[in-house]
Structure 1
Amino acid sequence: MKILFFSTGNEISNQDNIPDWKVRNSNCHYIKNLDQNFLFNFKNGGILRDGHKKVFKTKITKMLKSSTDIIITSGAVSAGKFDFVPDVIRSFKLSNFFKGVAIRPGKPILFAKIKGNQKVIFGLPGNPMSSAACFRFFVHPYIENILGLKEEKPLMAILKNNFTKKENFVRFAKSKLNTTKNGKVEVEILEGQELYKLKSFVKSNIWALLPAGKSKFKKGEIIKCFFPNHSNRLII
């Protein structure tokens, strides 16, 4: 499975020293580092700047004639002045398309399948936490489905602390998994779930998946968990 990845935005930079208004190209590096664990070959397509609407359309056209299976973009998916990704994708003939899912983090996310073709495009959010969650819970399952693998099973763990979320959204929570002396698997949902807090993501070793339709989760409940950097298949 071959992935072509594009970062977007005038603010994105690959430089070591950047001014305050710029942002490091972290999403590209993060997803690249997952390629050996999640069954894909990664190619960095570079950075699409705010005025690169025509450039992006050309990249998609070339992709349709290449061996690339998936294009992933990071950013420019919402409804701002320079969020050109959805409009460019809609200019192609599509057999499937959605934009926006009731999840946190991960709003917005875009998926499109080119009509008469197996090529697909994922538009991930620019925020690092949202991008990481969307790759794990949308792109990776798609890859496994295309490869004919059975649905990945969650790791079930005992919740160590109470947690409250909005009822109508699925929540992916940065969490810490551990085992007790008597062999029980426990998970703690970490403090610092805000999107801008990266320290909790660095400390975490698991995504806790909290389903929609429920707002309060109590200590002692059994919840579903997924490893962020490799498939659950490696241990289950």
Structure 2
Amino acid sequence: MIGYDEALAHILREAKPLPVVPRTPVPGQVLAEPVHSREDLPPFDNSAMDGFALRVGDAGIAAGAEFEVLGAQAAGDERVSAPAGAWEIMTGARIPDGLDAVIPVEQVEVLARDDDGKPARIRLQAEVPRGQHVRRHGEDVRKGDRFLAAGTRLDAPQLMLLAALGVSLVDVRAAPRVALINTGRELVDDPARPLASGEIRNSNGPYLAQRVEQAGAELVLRQTVSDEVDAFFIAMEEARSAGAELVLSTGAVSMGRYDFIPDALRKLGATIHFHKVAIRPGKPLLFATLPNGALFFGLPGNPASSAVGLRFFVEPALRAMLGLAPERALRLPLRGGRRAHHALRVFLKARVELDAHGRLWAQALPGQESFRIAPLAQANAWVVIDGSAGDLPEGAPVEVCGPGHLLGLTLEGVQP
């Protein structure tokens, strides 16, 4: 049995960054190269308000000034020149050349209208300084700016920015291809099927599949197999054919009669780097490399053990394959304290919450047994305590990690 830090070092030595490929931007991709803008954003000076565009100069114009309305400019209209007068203008419309400020329609008195009912003469009801309500070209992003750094994970805001700047291809790390194999003749995948005696529903499969994809990987195979070596070998061959660069299994890695995976991997020619880590839950975890270079993680079958194995062993490997730097955990005060029970590094289902003074606290939830799923659904974080920590009083700083490596610790579900 080895310690967590040593186990993680083994994993990171084997997990190599994947090739850089040009791709159409989609959520979950990780940029391998920085992105520079080929144009200004906004691309032209435009109005931030519905109102009237004016030429006011450095001194501005005082309330009470009157102007003839010489034209109108709507969003999408082409470039025009207007050295004098007022132009009715809509939000987002290009500012006519020669004008330098906008007064909102609410601050204007219409003195006359033309035959079509459009404003023909106006009086200002407020002072107008130069540049008021004008969005300058390049004010958001300038041409040539690096606006997204390498290592950025693309999500909705990044996709919005790429779309606004007309970026159709980005250089990203290829998504790690992952195969998921759940072992156990007791497992039932169909949620509508009544359970026979001794059967349980496969809860690890949906959980791990979702987390793998949220971590930026592509799930290329998902199978449930019985506790038979031949069935496992068939699934492993299908994983190889699917191009899996990381294979993830659950169950059959402990010391029981049906825990066949370590011997099966040896028969396949795999190199087992470690089997058993000084952690709780999830101590029987196994890590190996297959003959074709693919990584293999054998996670214990209990739900919390599988969740810990994915979060703190598999996801660091995926992060390295995506070219991302190691994660940095938060440190928050522990509510309620904790008595030391053993010398293992423990991963606790936890909640991060705000107190009445706006301070964040981490609290371990009841029900830390590895078979319990309900506390996992209530948790919004993990509290990690090293085996050497001893007893921890109320308020002791502890390491706190979010529910997923690439998700980080979010405040979703944080309650005062």
TM over 0.5: yes
Using the alignment, how far apart are the partners of 2:318 and 2:182 within structure 1? 20
Structure 1 residues 195 and 98, CA, compared in 2 at 3 Å: closer, same or farther?
Answer: same
1:35 aligns to what? Answer: 212
AA aligned opposite 2:209: K
CA deviation map 1:196-231 (0-9, x unaligned): 333322221111000121231111111111112453
1:76 aligns to what? Answer: 252
Matched-pair identity in %: 29
Structure 1 residues 184 and 200, CA, compared in 2 at 3 Å: closer, same or farther?
Answer: same
1:196 aligns to what? Answer: 371
The answer on whether the counterparts of 2:348 and 2:364 sit within 8 Å (CA) in structure 1 is yes
Superposed CA RMSD in Å reads: 2.1
Alpha-carbon shift at residue 179 of structure 1 (Å):
2.2
Structure 1 residues 69 and 109, CA, compared in 2 at 3 Å: closer, same or farther?
Answer: same
Structure 1 residues 20 and 198, CA, compared in 2 at 3 Å: closer, same or farther?
Answer: farther
1:106 aligns to what? Answer: 282
Structure 1 residues 213 and 230, CA, compared in 2 at 3 Å: closer, same or farther?
Answer: closer
SS of aligned partner of 2:376: helix
Using the alignment, how far apart are the partners of 2:196 and 2:330 within structure 1? 42
Structure 1 residues 165 and 62, CA, compared in 2 at 3 Å: closer, same or farther?
Answer: same
**Correspondent of 2:233 among 52, 57, 61:** 57
CA deviation map 1:120-154 (0-9, x unaligned): 11111110011011100000001101222111011
User: Is 1:86 aligned to 2:262, yes or no?
Assistant: yes
AA aligned opposite 1:23: I
CA deviation map 1:28-54 (0-9, x unaligned): 000112234211112443221122x12
Structure 1 residues 178 and 111, CA, compared in 2 at 3 Å: closer, same or farther?
Answer: same
User: Is 1:215 aligned to 2:390, yes or no?
Assistant: yes
Structure 1 residues 162 and 20, CA, compared in 2 at 3 Å: closer, same or farther?
Answer: farther
Structure 1 residues 76 and 96, CA, compared in 2 at 3 Å: closer, same or farther?
Answer: closer
For 1:98-177, list aligned pairs within 5 A.
98-115=274-291, 117-177=292-352
Using the alignment, how far apart are the partners of 2:220 and 2:302 within structure 1? 20
The answer on whether the counterparts of 1:152 and 1:232 sit within 8 Å (CA) in structure 2 is no
The answer on whether the counterparts of 1:34 and 1:230 sit within 8 Å (CA) in structure 2 is no
1:17 aligns to what? Answer: 194
User: Is 1:226 aligned to 2:407, yes or no?
Assistant: no
Alpha-carbon shift at residue 65 of structure 1 (Å):
5.1
Using the alignment, how far apart are the partners of 1:67 and 1:213 within structure 2? 41
The answer on whether the counterparts of 1:68 and 1:119 sit within 8 Å (CA) in structure 2 is yes
Using the alignment, how far apart are the partners of 1:182 and 1:3 within structure 2? 44
2:223 aligns to what? Answer: 46
Structure 1 residues 48 and 161, CA, compared in 2 at 3 Å: closer, same or farther?
Answer: same
AA aligned opposite 2:252: A
| Structure 2 length-normalised TM | 0.53
AA aligned opposite 1:134: G
SS of aligned partner of 2:254: coil
Using the alignment, how far apart are the partners of 2:394 and 2:266 within structure 1? 45
SS of aligned partner of 1:35: helix
**Residues 10-19 or 89-98, more deviating:** 89-98
